[in-house]
Chains A and B, each alone.
Chain A
Amino acid sequence: MPAVSKGDGMRGLAVFISDIRNCKSKEAEIKRINKELANIRSKFKGDKALDGYSKKKYVCKLLFIFLLGHDIDFGHMEAVNLLSSNKYTEKQIGYLFISVLVNSNSDLIRLINNAIKNDLSSRNPTFMNLALHCIANVGSREMAEAFAADVPRILVAGDTMDSVKQSAALCLLRLNRTSPDLVPMGEWTARVVHLLNDQHLGVVTAATSLITTLAQKNPDDFKTSVSLAVARLSRIVTSASTDLQDYTYYFVAAPWLSVKLLRLLQCYPPPEDAAIRGRLTECLETILNKAQEPPKSKKVQHSNAKNAVLFEAISLIIHHDSEPTLLVRACNQLGQFLQHRETNLRYLALESMCTLASSEFSHEAVKTHIDTVINALKTERDVSVRQRAVDLLYAMCDRSNAKQIVAEMLSYLETADYSIREEIVLKVAILAEKYAVDYTWYVDTILNLIRIAGDYVSEEVWYRVIQIVINRDDVQGYAAKTVFEALQAPACHENLVKVGGYILGEFGNLIAGDPRSSPLVQFNLLHSKFHLCSVPTRALLLSAYIKFINLFPEVKGTIQEVLRSDSQLRNADVELQQRAVEYLRLSCIASTDILATVLEEMPPFPERESSILAKLKRKKGPGTVPDIEENRKERNANVNGGTNHTTTTPNAKVAAAASPDLLGLGSPSPLSSTPPALPPTAASLLIDVFSENSPGAAAAAAAAAAPIAVPAAPVADDNFSSITPESLHVADSILADVQEPTDKFVCKNNGVLYENQLLQIGLKCEYRQSLGRMYVFFGNKTSTQFLSFATSVVCQEPLASQLNVHPKPVDPTVDGGAQLQQIINIECVSDFVEAAVLNIQFRYGGILQNIAVKLPITLNKFFQPTEMISQDFFQRWKQLSAPQQEVQNIFKAKHSMDTEVTKAKIIGFGVALLDGVDPNPSNFVGAGVIHTKTTQVGCLLRLEPNTQAQMYRLTLRTSRDTVSQRLCDLLSDQF
């Protein structure tokens, strides 16, 4: 470009600027500017012709005044006139003015566009450059509209000068960025790619930028650029540092171009062609090798340029993620940078390693640097670097090093910067949950987290702890203990109080045995924190208190006292007041049964994505509101009590029901338990013997005794009577099969219900409060298809009004050897005695088969176990002392009197087995609540075995006589 000659220095402009700078006050400056503006106005008046020099000078002054912050509303015309000058300096000033002060005056735009067009079509490269720069600087839509066609033409024309091509490429890039819709892709696109082969490195650099942007939008059009870019890159990489003359920067060959080419390659997957791929790998290796060479210069520019290329190469390696050797080498290289004394390098190394850690090839390699990273976390001065170190630790964490990393992060948290604490907290919480091998460690970690950085522990974190503790029985006791200990600290964070309140409220009973954490101690501990807490926490604590009333009746008085105090009952906060009033009334009015029901332990939470993870994601990206809403909903549900959850928890329930150790309890597996066909006779005989003891039992026994000649149980007899008339014509052989006892399902939920040579019926049931679901599996044992397969459930009166049974429809055909599943939904409306009958009808080999089976839906299925302590138990026992409420049965043992088996049966029956209640340790005591849709019946039972006499005495007390009787009958048959 032509240099500005001395004569072009504008003296008037210099004087004006120095005048302004010498102004003492703002007013003086404004006066000076007004004067100058008036002067320029008079000069521009138009009657005198101004020469180019003065025009340029005045336009310059206007520009200066504009840049000082004053409005300029004239002089545009003169600036446009300058564009048509043939002098470089005048043209330049004109373009400058227009770039800075362009406005959307239509006349003017037309003139400007005209002038630009003239310059573009001139053969003068400097003029073309000026015009292109102006287009790029303005970059408006109008400009794009006017020149979108011209610029690409100039770019790909064969006779364009290199410098103009460079400008054109950049101008096109700008237009493409501002108004991409106006820049049409055309035949020039293919030719643009070939600019990568241009002799002039400047052109190649500019073109690479353009191609990278274009390739991001439509990668397919520019696929060919990959091979060219690789070729170009390999030429640069292998060239000696002196080969590229102007484009060698501190001994590094064309660093900018290299970086841009590597970026371009990152738009595409690794090249398919093996040769190109090999060449690229070679290039990348060379770059990595060069990093190992001693620096050619001590200048910082040299190492900067070199590292820029290196980091871009590593980005490409990570992007391709296909060459294990390269990835490991890159990782090692970054490992070296981790200890570099240049902070920026350490930052970049940590950042790149984060991405490397997610690659399967290099994850292990990254892990080797764990000590260095931890060290960086501790010693690094720059907070942003420490932040990266935290990110990297998070990324490299897996099961093997989780404990170490979490411990390090926790210890760092104490000194961490406030700005990154919340993120670290979230990360620790996630890692602890993700890689927790045993949940005691998890609980410890999170409690520690709350202790160290309580303020930064978001709601999600502590919600999550509670979810996990509730869902995992094995940690509940430990959690309660730990929380209790943590709360002992004189000053604990509110979040800890929240967790403590919730966990003790749910599981305080698990540690109540220890006199150091007796109910009263627990309550006092919680209440000592009460007044220091915010309203939501207080509300939570109030809920914990009412739960205490349920768990520990002995502190009821104390808690009612607290609830009754004015500070609660008349609290200014509506929520607290309402809770206090409601809880107080609830504790006064409701019976223990109702309390036990209302304040039942929380059901397990459904498994879902950790809310903390969602929060971390939100923190990184734009927030999404629905998640927060969801959390809130969940929280409300928690607060309001567990019943809401029944509908949302089937998954968890299935898991629980399916696990054999919860329900199976060492009972013989269903297939091997065929013998029970015989014992019932003995049972009915036994009833006969002892039936004098209670009139109700006698009646039942009498009914049972009648058909005793038939080798079947009384239940089986019911089975007969409930068979619908239509099914009576069924063949005898099949009828015999119907007499399968349902007793074996009294204490368990899974097993084979029925089996003959054609069909096997399996069962799997789950019950929750008054609702149940039964999965019936019909297995076709033959090799032929069953046709017109149909089932129906028959409930006779009064059962039909007591029990709602809804079978889902099934397919009419069952293939040979296949299994068909039917779901039956059950709802218990009130207590019942009879059993529903399942009728099955199908054609096998053209013969209609009818099978009727009793469904083992018994009243005890709707039990919810209730834990209670000795004192409580006897208190209730006494409350149910009315004669019709108690049913007692003394009977002879049918099986060996094994304590463990008996325990398992009682638990399987549905009640909670209470240890240490009865003074005689060999007696069994149980408690539970039967849920029906209409009522709930509390039930207490006591089983006294007499090993000498091989007899049992079973006593049942419930609030309803029919229930007592029915349960007694059911259970008596089991022993």
Chain B
Amino acid sequence: MIGGLFIYNHKGEVLISRVYRDDIGRNAVDAFRVNVIHARQQVRSPVNNIARTSFFHVKRSNIWLAAVTKQNVNAAMVFEFLYKMCDVMTAYFGKISEENIKNNFVLIYELLDEILDFGYPQNSETGALKTFITQQGIKSQHHTKEEQSQITSQVTGQIGWRREGIKYRRNELFLDVLESVNLLMSPQGQVLSAHVSGRVVMKSYLSGMPECKFGMNDKIIIDKQGKGGTTTTDEAGKSSGKQAIAIDDCTFHQCVRLSKFDTERSISFIPPDGEYELMRYRTTKDIILPFRVIPLVREVGRTKLEVKVVIKSNFKPSLLAQKIEVRIPTPLNTSGVQVICMKGKAKYKASENAIVWKIKRMAGMKESQISAEIELLPTNDKKKWARPPISMNFEVPFAPSGLKVRYLKVFEPKLNYSDHDVIKWVRYIGRSGIYETRC
């Protein structure tokens, strides 16, 4: 189990130090600073073993969060906890920064006391926490004694993530499908590796204890329905096969009834109130690549390099991609760069050793190009330029995995509102993960 939790700033100064178990001594704080934060060589492994003590860390901007233990713990559990911890902190005071942590350190200690008990993770559901940890800025909406007393029964009860008696005048539901698409492509346009990791995030404002059922174009479900249904024609199978996607793996929020998912593969749940992540998934097949990058690099003598990069948008012309940024790395001995681009703005950023080309908006099935002349300083170094890949960032209003929400049904048998009365909003956002093309 987790023996202690430390938060450091970028200099390695301890901001928060909470020790849960006696086997973690004071020197553990320094050990992590010396061996990881101030290590000569950059430490890349998130798990470090120093003097029989394991350190698990995540980094948020300049802040290091490190969980320490002397026991043989489940590393995935520890990281899940650390991520949850980040989520909770973000939910309470926004961006995790040194200043915010310093301003909220009483709150953080209170949170740490609540979500970890003797090193065992407890309820880390932000919604639930917010009902009883009300430090600074977070006002408790429920002042009555009854509601206060309900907290205990709720937290210890079967449905720990939702309390009874929630009432909304307008029953509303927001559903976001957020995906990040990762790609590595060869210079010739061959896909070397590609995958999409997606999340379904919901915001629900529903009264009572509603029962929800979520449906999407999962290949297995559709096949099942196709077989069980009356329309057993090949055509139906084909059309559903075209639209259905193969999900490699997925995880769910604790509210989802896993037994039902296992038997019927249907996702039914009683949603928590407010914002939460319903599911996470990953797909590797039939990915729609929103952009194609075609690089062209020509070395003209020892002192000159010509780079031409074409990007093509590969989606419906009616859709608009946003925040497009192409990063073209430059050799280390670059002494000067001239850039010409048809669209957007391009700039040589010496501090990052790259040409950064930014386009605000771009419609589907379009094409744009940039050409750059890079002047090089002859060096006496024999090392050849390693030609790092060209990377890209963007945001598109569809799911590159092809996932579609088919339905989201809400049943509330006790209160008198039906599925039709709930206002539902669905949104798809596809973002770039590591989207690289070799040149």
Contacts and interface: CB of A to CB of B under 8 A. Distances in A.
B351 interface: yes
B254 interface: no
Interface string B380-394: 110100000000000
Given A31-B352, A32-B351, A45-B375, A38 B334 contact: yes
Contacts of B350: 34-35, 37-39
Contact of B380 (A35, A44, A45, A105): A105
B62 interface: yes
Contact of B377 (A32, A45, A105, A108): A45
Interface residues of B, number: 18
Interface string B1-35: 00000000010000000000000000000000000
A41 B335 contact: yes
Contacts of A41: 333-336, 377
B186 interface: no
Interface string A125-161: 0000000000000000000000000000000000000
A44 B377 contact: yes
Interface residues of A, number: 19
Interface string B24-64: 00000000000000000000000000000000000000100
A42 B336 contact: yes
A25 interface: yes
B131 interface: no
Nearest to B37: A26
Among B10, B350, B378, the most chain A Cβ lie within 10 Å of the Cβ of B350
Contacts of A38: 334-335, 350-351, 353
Contacts of A35: 350-351
A74 B351 CA distance: 18
A24 interface: yes
B351 A45 contact: no
B318 interface: no
Nearest to B348: A38
B379 interface: yes
B102 to A, nearest CB: 15
Interface in A101-142: 103, 105, 108
B333 A73 contact: yes
Given A25-B10, A41-B334, A73 B381 contact: yes
Interface in A28-78: 31-32, 34-35, 37-39, 41-42, 44-45, 73-74, 76
A679 B377 CA distance: 120
B372 to A, nearest CB: 14
A31 B10 contact: no
A703 to B, nearest CB: 91
Contacts of A74: 333, 377-381
Among B333, B353, B380, B383, the most chain A Cβ lie within 10 Å of the Cβ of B380
B184 to A, nearest CB: 24
A44 B335 contact: yes
Interface in A598-651: none
A31 B377 CA distance: 20
Among B335, B353, B383, the most chain A Cβ lie within 10 Å of the Cβ of B335
Interface in A64-105: 73-74, 76, 103, 105
Nearest to B62: A25
A72 to B, nearest CB: 10
Interface in B317-376: 332-336, 350-353, 375
Interface in B190-239: none
A31 B332 CA distance: 13
A103 B382 CA distance: 13
B379 A34 contact: no
A9 B377 CA distance: 28
Contacts of A105: 380
Among B332, B334, B383, the most chain A Cβ lie within 10 Å of the Cβ of B332
Nearest to A30: B351
Contacts of A45: 335-336, 375, 377
B104 to A, nearest CB: 21
Contacts of A24: 10, 62
Contacts of B62: 24-25
A42 B351 contact: no
A73 B381 CA distance: 6
A103 B353 contact: no
A41 B378 CA distance: 10
A42 B333 CA distance: 9
A24 B352 CA distance: 17
A105 B381 CA distance: 10
Contacts of A42: 335-336
A34 B335 contact: no
A24 B381 CA distance: 31
A622 B265 CA distance: 76
Contact of B379 (A25, A31, A73): A73
B355 to A, nearest CB: 12
A74 B336 CA distance: 15
Contacts of A103: 380
Contacts of B332: 37, 73
A758 to B, nearest CB: 92
Given A41-B334, A42-B336, A44-B335, A31 B351 contact: yes
Contacts of A39: 350
Contacts of B10: 24-25
A38 B335 CA distance: 6
Nearest to A74: B379
Contacts of A37: 332, 350
Among A37, A44, A76, A105, the most chain B Cβ lie within 10 Å of the Cβ of A37
B36 to A, nearest CB: 13
A12 B94 CA distance: 40
B352 A108 contact: no
A860 B261 CA distance: 105
B69 to A, nearest CB: 27
Interface in A262-280: none
Contact of A34 (B352, B375, B377): B352
A38 B376 CA distance: 10
Nearest to B353: A34
B63 to A, nearest CB: 11
Contacts of B381: 73-74
B376 to A, nearest CB: 9
Contacts of A73: 332-333, 379-381, 383
A34 B333 CA distance: 10
Interface in A3-40: 24-25, 31-32, 34-35, 37-39
Given A35-B350, A73-B380, 4 more contacts: A34-B352, A34-B353, A41-B377, A76-B380
23 contacts: A24-B62, A25-B10, A25-B62, A31-B352, A32-B351, A34-B351, A34-B352, A35-B350, A37-B350, A38-B335, A38-B350, A38-B353, A41-B377, A42-B335, A42-B336, A45-B335, A73-B381, A73-B383, A74-B333, A74-B378, A74-B379, A76-B380, A103-B380
The 6 closest A-B pairs by CB, nearest first: A38-B350, A73-B381, A31-B351, A41-B335, A35-B351, A45-B335
